[in-house]
């Protein structure tokens, strides 16, 4: 059977479209339908979440106007009201209008509109009306609906309004407001929270969460011995101040912001994705987190540091967020990824759906998609020089900047081959999220538009030029003192030195001329002409040597070449004798626009206003996910209608409000007795947010089950216990290295070849990570996808067992740690086993565990030296066993 689509060009964007066709094309109709759906939620019968609730049924395939798809009486009434409210200068929000006509009877069938809707009948069609039995259920249904309306209505696209913190119940062991929000749900559902976790479990939990590593046995014992009431809070504060925190959370945010090293061919000869040296952005992420740079500032720098801090190379690193989307093969794909993932990372909405058609469930029109794209249309990426390295393939600063003034067209069905060239979009943001872009073009300093005129580039260029003079001079000197050198060689070297010197002189004059010295321009011309003469002399000299040594049959050809070279020399001399001008040949230097559109700055400002509904909600949810194993919104990259609703909407909103504007109330209850100066109360502070979550009773709870709670809430949606989590790939590898005392804590720097994953002692976030360049070891443990990784999905596969049991890394470290354990324990097996548990699992063994291990050890031997050999062997095997222990890879 032939498939028709096979013949239709542009099939791909078409596919998502068919479903739209049954609806009116003009206007934001899916948004209206979504509003109806949102207001009535599960009380709206499925057939009523349709166009025909407000429109008369139409047989026209894709009606283009209201004439073709007229309203029914219910729709008419809504439309009239909208017109009235518009005229009165009020917002014609659909929900308000729906409420206004709830008690009216638009179709005149004797049943009010809302009653019909609640009973699953069309309020605009008099022949579709509830029967008597249905009407009998009405009052129960209405009271349920009223209850629903009175409950907390989570509106992710409306600004955050700080909800009131529930009042404390006498029986609740609340440590801060988080616990009060959770307790409210337990009471509602009859759940009993689990007690606090053991101190060993708690300590490892907070270490892994904040720094991605185990506590040392010393730290473990100190914590167990510390009976002061704020012992735990002090650990939290210490770990937040530990620079390993930035590495741990840097990797998390690298997931969300899609960090990728460059991909392509030929060792950088063809860069296809991202850019070399983008590790500087990774270092910016780590440093910013360690410095607790406010999140709003981080967003501004990532999207627009080139406009906001154009002369600050440290801040410019942040634009790696944009550079990362670079795609050599397709500007379309590059911009598509930029739009899609900027929206998804910061706003948690799937704007990508609106590329080909209006979003089907969220209020984003296709036009708004292209308006959002217009924000990024002018931007490009480049690699700036850094002090000490003129060759940007060796080192440099990849960064974003505005350069093109390409228009953004509306692409019909998202197909780049069908732009509507008379329909150019201005930059904008979806209206449903509120606010608008305030765009101001930015004048850039000369250091940004003419980066090669920056003093350090001039210095480096001069010193490279000086270096070639020195090299030429020492070559000449070498030949002079070399008895075997020929005169021809020495002449050639002398000429090379002359050329280097005159080049250097020309460069100096050019630089002066650039700085405005007009006399220097004439000098530059003089030197450049002299340079041409010297270069022609060198060629003439070389041609003559060739002629002198040519074989008989090649003499004619060599003579011809020599004559030509002499003629060129004469021409150069003649040119040099002409009157001087100021028209020197400028040095090769790139120039970029002196203004930037300001579009991305405007976007960053819009995103970081406290009335932006999504930025803070999405960020706190990402942090929550990584502390509690599940987001309050389980779909961290989709806060729209296709995502899942939050388990605790009020808590999420409260955390978002708290993140943007910390309240005194929350801080007094969290920093009980720590007295730490680090408990800052700045807005958008991740460290404050971590502290708030980690010092809640919820975070400190045990992960052990309870039969009654399990029956009532098997997925632990309401957090009556802590969720157990598996270590991420990087934490597995880093902790293996750490427990055997083999982790190199040097921070930052160029990406390390991923093939060295089994031998490099550096933390895993420094290993190269790009399409087709990923460490096999890390990927076996579900390392991040390069394409997108808003949430890690841990697996349990046999390859993991092979990696932890057989890899060179595991075996080498087991030997190393085995030796250390034998020494530390002075040959005492029980001590050895205890230490092994403490180092690898960060806890002491139980008596039964100790016994099982002892039984596996070789029985006492005749001589001490044999016993020691056995013990070393047993220790290595015990280490391997514990590397494979579920408690190593699991955080309880």
Partner 1 sequence: MNPSQHSQRPPGCTGVSRRTFLADTGMGFTGLALGAMLFRDGVRADSEGWAPPTGKPHFAPRAKSVIWVFLCGGVSHVESFDIKTELNRYAGKSISETPYAGVLATEGKDVIGANPAHGNRKVILPLQTGFRRYGQCGLPVGDWFKNIGECADEIAVVRSLWTIHNDHGAQLTWQTGRHPRELEHPTLGAWTAYGLGTLNENLPEYVVLGTPTGDCCGGTFTYGASYLGPENGGVRLNTDPKNPLPFIQPPAGSLSAEQQASNLSLLGKLNRLAGIDYPDDANLRARIKSYELAFQMQASVPETLQLEREPEHIRRMYGLDDDATRAFGEQCLVARRLVERGVRFVQIFHGGGGGGAWDAHSEIKSNHTTLARQVDKPVAGLLKDLRQRGLLDDTLVVFGTEFGRSPGAEGSGRDHHPQAFSAWLAGGGVKGGVQYGQTDELGFHAADNRRYVTDIHATVLRQLGLDSHRLEVPGRKRLELDHGNVIQEILA
CB 879 → partner 1: shortest distance, Å? 10
CB 327 → partner 1: shortest distance, Å? 9
Q: Which stretch binds partner 1 (CB under 8 A): 4-12, 226-234, 434-442, 517-525?
A: 4-12
Determine, following the binding rule CB under 8 A, whether residue 682 of this chain makes contact with partner 1.
no
Q: Which stretch binds partner 1 (CB under 8 A): 1-9, 208-216, 219-227, 371-379?
A: 1-9
Q: How far is residue 56's CA from residue 68's CA, in Å, rounded to a whole number?
A: 10
CB atoms within 10 A of CB 389: 12
Determine, following the binding rule CB under 8 A, whether residue 12 of this chain makes contact with partner 1.
yes
Please select the residue that binds partner 1; options are 799, 823, 828, 868, rule is CB under 8 A: 799
Q: Which is nearer to partner 1, 15 or 406 (CB)?
A: 15
Determine, following the binding rule CB under 8 A, whether residue 884 of this chain makes contact with partner 1.
yes
CB 890 → partner 1: shortest distance, Å? 7
Determine, following the binding rule CB under 8 A, whether residue 475 of this chain makes contact with partner 1.
no
The answer to whether 211 and 765 are in contact (CB under 8 A) is no
660 φ, ψ to 5°? -80, -35
Q: Which stretch binds partner 1 (CB under 8 A): 298-306, 575-583, 634-642, 660-668?
A: 634-642
662 φ, ψ to 5°? -60, 140
CB 702 → partner 1: shortest distance, Å? 9
Determine, following the binding rule CB under 8 A, whether residue 105 of this chain makes contact with partner 1.
no
CB 153 → partner 1: shortest distance, Å? 21
CB 772 → partner 1: shortest distance, Å? 4
Q: Using H for helix, E for strand and C for coil, what is the string for 262-288?
A: CEEEHHHCEEEECCCCCHHHHHHHHHH
C-alpha angle 771-777-782 in degrees, rounded to nearest 5: 65
DSSP code of 101? T
For residue 854, give both structure tokens. 């002892």
CB atoms within 10 A of CB 263: 19
Please select the residue that binds partner 1; options are 574, 808, 823, 828, rule is CB under 8 A: 808
The answer to whether 106 and 123 are in contact (CB under 8 A) is yes
> Angle formed by the axes of helices 331-342 and 366-376, to 10°?
110
Determine, following the binding rule CB under 8 A, whether residue 748 of this chain makes contact with partner 1.
no
CB 884 → partner 1: shortest distance, Å? 5
Q: Which is nearer to partner 1, 171 or 265 (CB)?
A: 265
Q: Which stretch binds partner 1 (CB under 8 A): 138-146, 340-348, 484-492, 703-711?
A: 703-711
The secondary structure of the chain in percent helix, strand, coil, rounded to multiples of 5, reads 55, 5, 40
Please select the residue that binds partner 1; options are 287, 475, 566, 887, rule is CB under 8 A: 887
Please select the residue that binds partner 1; options are 577, 707, 860, 862, rule is CB under 8 A: 707
Q: Which is nearer to partner 1, 44 or 882 (CB)?
A: 882
CB atoms within 10 A of CB 45: 16
Determine, following the binding rule CB under 8 A, whether residue 41 of this chain makes contact with partner 1.
no
Nearest to 471 by CA among 442, 450, 449, 499: 499
Determine, following the binding rule CB under 8 A, whether residue 407 of this chain makes contact with partner 1.
no
3-state class (DSSP) for residue 739 = helix
3-state class (DSSP) for residue 744 = strand
Element of type H or E holding 573:
helix 555-577
Binding mask 331-360 for partner 1 (x = CB under 8 A): --x---------------------------
365 φ, ψ to 5°? -85, 165
Beta bridge partners of 384: 397
Determine, following the binding rule CB under 8 A, whether residue 192 of this chain makes contact with partner 1.
no
Q: Which is nearer to partner 1, 634 or 748 (CB)?
A: 634
9 φ, ψ to 5°? -65, 150
401 φ, ψ to 5°? -160, 160
Determine, following the binding rule CB under 8 A, whether residue 549 of this chain makes contact with partner 1.
no
C-alpha angle 205-258-290 in degrees, rounded to nearest 5: 50
Total residues interacting with partner 1, rule: CB under 8 A: 72
Please select the residue that binds partner 1; options are 6, 164, 551, 862, rule is CB under 8 A: 6
Residues of span 835-874 touching partner 1 by CB under 8 A? 846, 848-849, 852-853, 856
Q: How far is residue 577's CA from residue 546's CA, in Å, rounded to a whole number?
A: 29
Determine, following the binding rule CB under 8 A, whether residue 806 of this chain makes contact with partner 1.
yes
Determine, following the binding rule CB under 8 A, whether residue 802 of this chain makes contact with partner 1.
yes
Q: Which stretch binds partner 1 (CB under 8 A): 176-184, 297-305, 573-581, 698-706?
A: 698-706
For residue 285, give both structure tokens. 């992420």
Determine, following the binding rule CB under 8 A, whether residue 703 of this chain makes contact with partner 1.
yes
Look-up: residue for tokens 């964007």? Answer: 13
Please select the residue that binds partner 1; options are 577, 711, 860, 862, rule is CB under 8 A: 711
Q: Which is nearer to partner 1, 383 or 774 (CB)?
A: 774
CB 16 → partner 1: shortest distance, Å? 8
Determine, following the binding rule CB under 8 A, whether residue 17 of this chain makes contact with partner 1.
no
Residues of span 132-161 touching partner 1 by CB under 8 A? none
Determine, following the binding rule CB under 8 A, whether residue 7 of this chain makes contact with partner 1.
yes
Element of type H or E holding 443:
strand 442-443
How far is Cα of residue 21 from the mean position of the Cα atoms in its chain?
A: 36
Residues of span 226-265 touching partner 1 by CB under 8 A? 265
701 φ, ψ to 5°? -70, 155
| Count of alpha carbons within 13 angstroms of residue 579, beta-carbon side | 1
Residues of span 303-332 touching partner 1 by CB under 8 A? 330
Q: How far is residue 596's CA from residue 380's CA, in Å, rounded to a whole number?
A: 11
Beta bridge partners of 890: 726
Q: Which is nearer to partner 1, 245 or 857 (CB)?
A: 857
Please select the residue that binds partner 1; options are 446, 746, 796, 831, rule is CB under 8 A: 796
Q: Which is nearer to partner 1, 172 or 774 (CB)?
A: 774
The answer to whether 233 and 674 are in contact (CB under 8 A) is yes
Q: How far is residue 175's CA from residue 26's CA, in Å, rounded to a whole number?
A: 53
Q: Which stretch binds partner 1 (CB under 8 A): 185-193, 215-223, 663-671, 882-890?
A: 882-890
CB 633 → partner 1: shortest distance, Å? 13
Determine, following the binding rule CB under 8 A, whether residue 787 of this chain makes contact with partner 1.
yes
Determine, following the binding rule CB under 8 A, whether residue 886 of this chain makes contact with partner 1.
yes
Binding mask 588-627 for partner 1 (x = CB under 8 A): ----------------------------------------
Q: Which is nearer to partner 1, 134 or 788 (CB)?
A: 788
The answer to whether 284 and 317 are in contact (CB under 8 A) is yes
For the chain, what is the radius of gyration of the CA atoms?
Answer: 35
The answer to whether 765 and 752 are in contact (CB under 8 A) is no
Determine, following the binding rule CB under 8 A, whether residue 880 of this chain makes contact with partner 1.
yes
Determine, following the binding rule CB under 8 A, whether residue 16 of this chain makes contact with partner 1.
yes
Nearest to 807 by CA among 878, 885, 736: 736
Determine, following the binding rule CB under 8 A, whether residue 121 of this chain makes contact with partner 1.
no
CB 337 → partner 1: shortest distance, Å? 10
CB 647 → partner 1: shortest distance, Å? 11
CB 590 → partner 1: shortest distance, Å? 28
Length of the chain: 892
Q: Which stretch binds partner 1 (CB under 8 A): 298-306, 479-487, 582-590, 701-709?
A: 701-709
Beta bridge partners of 271: 264
Determine, following the binding rule CB under 8 A, whether residue 726 of this chain makes contact with partner 1.
yes
Q: Which stretch binds partner 1 (CB under 8 A): 151-159, 554-562, 734-742, 779-787?
A: 779-787
Element of type H or E holding 373:
helix 366-376
| DSSP letter for each residue of 287-347 | HHHHTT--HHHHHHHHHHHHHHSTT-HHHHGGGHHHHTT-BTT-HHHHHHHHHHHHIIIII
């Amino acid at each position: 059977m032939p498939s028709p689509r096979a013949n239709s060009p542009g099939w791909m964007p078409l596919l998502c479209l068919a479903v739209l066709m049954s609806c009116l094309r003009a206007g934001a109709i899916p948004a209206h339908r979504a509003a109806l759906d949102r207001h009535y939620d599960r009380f709206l019968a499925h057939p009523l979440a349709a166009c025909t609730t407000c429109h008369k049924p139409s047989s026209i395939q894709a009606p283009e106007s209201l004439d073709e798809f007229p309203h029914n009486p219910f729709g008419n009434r809504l439309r009239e009201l909208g017109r009235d409210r518009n005229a009165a200068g009020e917002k014609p929000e659909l929900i308000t209008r729906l409420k206004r006509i709830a008690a009216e009877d638009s179709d005149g069938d004797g049943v009010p509109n809302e009653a019909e809707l609640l009973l699953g009948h069309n309020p605009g069609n008099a022949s579709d009306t509830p029967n008597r039995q249905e009407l009998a259920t009405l009052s129960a249904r209405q009271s349920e609906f009223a209850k629903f309306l009175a409950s907390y209505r989570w509106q992710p696209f409306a600004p955050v309004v700080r909800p009131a913190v529930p009042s404390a119940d006498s029986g609740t062991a609340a440590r801060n407001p988080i616990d009060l929000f959770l307790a409210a749900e337990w009471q509602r559902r009859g759940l009993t929270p689990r007690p606090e976790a053991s101190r060993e479990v708690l300590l490892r939990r907070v270490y892994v969460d904040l720094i991605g590593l185990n506590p040392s046995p010393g730290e473990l014992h100190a914590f167990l011995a510390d009976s002061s009431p704020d012992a735990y809070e002090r650990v939290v504060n210490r770990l937040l101040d530990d620079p390993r925190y930035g590495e741990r959370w840097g990797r998390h945010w690298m997931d969300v912001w899609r960090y990728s090293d460059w991909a392509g061919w030929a060792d950088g000869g063809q860069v296809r994705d991202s850019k070399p040296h983008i590790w500087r952005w990774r270092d910016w992420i780590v440093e910013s987190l360690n410095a607790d740079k406010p999140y709003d500032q981080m967003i501004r720098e990532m999207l627009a540091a080139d406009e906001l801090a154009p002369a600050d190379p440290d801040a410019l690193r942040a634009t790696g967020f944009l550079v990362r989307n670079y795609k050599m093969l397709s500007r379309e794909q590059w911009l598509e990824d930029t739009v899609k993932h900027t929206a998804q990372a910061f706003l948690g909405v799937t704007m990508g759906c609106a590329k080909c058609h209006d979003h089907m469930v969220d209020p984003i029109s296709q036009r708004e998609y292209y308006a959002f794209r217009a924000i990024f249309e002018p931007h490009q990426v480049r690699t700036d020089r850094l002090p000490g390295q003129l060759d940007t393939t060796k080192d440099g600063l990849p960064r974003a900047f505005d350069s093109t003034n390409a228009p953004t067209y509306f692409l019909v069905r998202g197909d780049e081959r069908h732009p509507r060239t008379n329909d150019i979009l201005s930059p904008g943001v979806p209206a449903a999220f509120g606010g608008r872009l305030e765009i101001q073009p930015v004048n850039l300093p000369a250091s940004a538009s003419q980066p090669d005129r920056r003093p350090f580039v001039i210095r480096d260029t001069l010193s490279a030029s000086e270096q070639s003079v020195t090299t030429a001079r020492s070559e000449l000197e070498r030949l002079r003192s070399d008895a075997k050198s020929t005169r021809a060689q020495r002449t050639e070297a002398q000429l090379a030195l002359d050329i280097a010197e005159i080049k250097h002189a020309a460069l100096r004059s050019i630089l002066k001329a650039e700085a405005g010295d007009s006399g220097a321009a004439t000098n530059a011309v003089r030197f450049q002409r002299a340079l041409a003469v010297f270069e022609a002399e060198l060629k003439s000299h070389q041609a003559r040597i060739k002629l002198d040594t040519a074989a008989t049959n090649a003499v004619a050809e060599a003579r011809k070449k020599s004559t030509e070279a002499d003629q060129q020399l004469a021409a150069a001399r003649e040119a040099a004798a002409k009157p001087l001008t100021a028209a020197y040949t400028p040095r090769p230097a790139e120039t970029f626009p002196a203004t930037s559109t300001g579009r991305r700055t405007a976007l960053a400002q819009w995103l970081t206003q406290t009335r932006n509904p999504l930025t803070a909600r999405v960020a706190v949810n990402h942090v929550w996910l990584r502390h509690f194993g599940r987001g309050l919104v389980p779909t961290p990259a989709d806060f729209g209608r296709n995502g899942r609703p939050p388990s605790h909407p009020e808590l999420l909103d409260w955390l978002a409000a708290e993140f943007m504007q910390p309240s005194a109330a929350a801080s007094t209850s969290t920093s009980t007795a720590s007295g730490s100066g680090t408990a800052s109360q700045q807005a958008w502070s991740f460290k404050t947010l971590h502290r708030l979550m980690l010092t809640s009773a919820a975070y400190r709870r045990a992960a052990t089950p309870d039969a009654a709670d399990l029956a009532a809430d098997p997925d632990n949606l309401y957090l009556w216990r802590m969720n157990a989590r598996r270590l991420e790939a990087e934490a597995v590898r880093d902790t293996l290295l750490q427990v055997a005392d083999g982790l190199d804590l040097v921070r930052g720097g160029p990406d390390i070849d991923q093939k060295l994953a089994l031998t490099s002692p550096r933390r895993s976030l420094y290993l190269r990570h790009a399409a087709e360049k990923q460490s096999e070891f890390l990927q076996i443990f579900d390392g991040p996808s390069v394409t997108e990784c808003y949430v890690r999905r841990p697996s349990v596969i046999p390859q993991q067992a092979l990696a932890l049991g057989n890899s060179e890394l595991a075996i080498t470290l087991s030997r190393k740690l085995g030796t250390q354990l034998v020494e530390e324990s002075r040959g005492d097996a029980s001590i050895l086993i205890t230490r092994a548990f403490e180092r690898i699992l960060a806890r002491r063994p139980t008596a039964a565990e100790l016994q099982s291990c002892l039984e596996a050890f070789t029985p006492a031997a005749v001589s001490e030296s044999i016993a020691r050999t056995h013990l070393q062997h047993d220790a290595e095997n015990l280490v391997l066993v514990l590397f494979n222990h579920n408690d190593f890879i699991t955080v309880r």
